[in-house]
């Protein structure tokens, strides 16, 4: 069994064949999917999918690229959405200095407010970080999640071992996606090779970041198996052992709800 701990199954690129995508995932042993929301309007859509499919779970949050209009009252709406029985995390939240869709100080406010909400609700966070290493580490360190047993995951981890060590020290897990399988990704594989085994997660970020075998195509949850396969090779483990380990990690981080 595998869990795709991060996919955007709600995006319109899945409108034509969403049922088949979920069925193909299950046929490949990927029986649980977590869909993180990206903004308030998106939360009901994600929750609706979680109601529609037994193995689909949700996270609610406002992505840094959607935080330009952030208001602190949005936390109240997120708190309401988080009451849904299939919500397992607050996300996708974080910082993104690549797209620059919202000013940095606004991103900081949105991120910190949602980290505090996660702490209040006892939920882990799903963290997006693009070209914002230092500020992500600083805001996580200043947050009430720092040092908890299961604070959350740095999703689609793609930066240095130095940053990895700092967030691992705070208790965070690291999620790996398709880029781990890319030909040029030796540096990323070196990082993945050093992460404690009980802190590793696999994810797709579908429809984005298709693995090497499917490069250029739409990514989908079934392909998380390629990430697990590559991670097993990096760790010198049999594929089923790596699958079992990352699945146990996901169940530990996101909680018993995932155990239907
Ligand atoms: Zn994402």
pLDDT of residue 260: 62
Alpha carbon of 7 to ligand 1 centroid (Å): 6
Alpha carbon of 147 to ligand 1 centroid (Å): 24
Alpha carbon of 184 to ligand 1 centroid (Å): 22
Alpha carbon of 36 to ligand 1 centroid (Å): 7
Which value, to the nearest 10 degrees, does the dihedral of the CA atoms of residues 171, 38, 68, 74 take?
-80
pLDDT of residue 256: 78
Name the stretches of the chain with pLDDT < 70.
260
Alpha carbon of 157 to ligand 1 centroid (Å): 11
**Rounded (5°) CA angle 141-147-151:** 85
Alpha carbon of 205 to ligand 1 centroid (Å): 5
Alpha carbon of 203 to ligand 1 centroid (Å): 10
């Amino acid at each position: 069994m595998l869990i795709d701990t991060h996919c955007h199954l709600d995006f319109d690129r899945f409108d034509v064949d969403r049922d088949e995508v979920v069925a193909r995932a299950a046929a490949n042993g990927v029986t649980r999917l977590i869909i993180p929301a990206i903004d308030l309007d998106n939360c009901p859509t994600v929750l609706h999918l979680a109601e529609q499919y037994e193995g689909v779970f949700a996270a609610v949050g406002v992505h840094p690229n959607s935080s330009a209009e952030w208001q602190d009252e949005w936390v109240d709406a997120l708190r309401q959405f988080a009451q849904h029985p299939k919500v397992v995390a607050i996300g996708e939240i974080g910082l993104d200095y690549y797209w620059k869709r919202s000013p940095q100080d606004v991103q900081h406010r949105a991120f910190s407010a949602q980290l505090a909400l996660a702490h209040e609700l006892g939920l882990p966070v799903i963290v997006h970080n693009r070209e914002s290493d230092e500020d992500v580490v600083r805001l996580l360190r200043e947050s009430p999640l720092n040092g908890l047993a299961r604070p959350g995951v740095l999703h689609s981890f793609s930066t240095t071992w130095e940053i990895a060590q700092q967030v691992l020290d705070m208790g965070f897990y690291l999620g790996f996606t398709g880029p781990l399988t890319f030909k040029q990704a030796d540096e990323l594989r070196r990082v993945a090779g050093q992460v404690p085994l009980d802190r590793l997660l696999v994810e797709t970020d579908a429809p984005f970041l298709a693995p090497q075998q499917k490069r250029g195509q739409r990514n989908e949850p079934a392909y998380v198996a390629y990430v697990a396969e590559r991670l097993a090779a990096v760790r010198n483990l049999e594929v089923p052992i790596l699958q079992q380990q990352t699945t146990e990690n996901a169940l530990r981080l996101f909680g018993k709800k995932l155990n239907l």
